Structure 1
């Protein structure tokens, strides 16, 4: 794995946490606020924010898929994690391990200790 692929994994990790927290924190809060105070103005902007975070996550996931050549099953797993509330937190944990392994491999290759 090259450093650009590790950087793509890192970007996906950075997007997974806000996306994972946006559903429960924003949408449930907005819906609860609407029910409690009969105030609908928060639901649309919070829903849009969640949608934007989801789209960013999917675009970054497609970038990682293009760079890593993951099987479709693995990409579908990370997509499913984006749909589940708090699923991206587990995805972040998995991606962190993979990113660390990729950076270590890239550094070893750069130092010449491993054949490319």
Structure 2
């Protein structure tokens, strides 16, 4: 089941983050969350919490990587953001609303079949 943007959890704070991560692992689902970092937001997703581990196929991984690169190039997210094979982190998103949108798109990309990664691109 996809997670709508409005339901993406705010995992700001180590205790909240760890509880959400443990819950995702216990429920065998992809961990997804946003966290406040001073005046910006970060998006985090980790597929290692899901069973079976939903590794991204090459096409989906390349699409997500291209979208993250485009977001970096447009300066919508910081250049130290990461689109790995199982872990994703987008640093420096300007608004909570946009962070939720990006998190929902990342969550959709980790599903089988994946939703279009084009949702990650800039508006």
TM-score > 0.5 by shorter chain = no
Relative to the length of structure 1, the TM-score reads 0.30
Q: Compare the two structures and name the one with the higher helix fraction.
A: 1
Q: Compare the two structures and name the one with the higher strand fraction.
A: 2
Pick the structure with greater CA Rg. Answer: 1
Relative to the length of structure 2, the TM-score reads 0.28
Which of 1 and 2 has higher RCO (CA within 8 Å, sep 6+)? 1
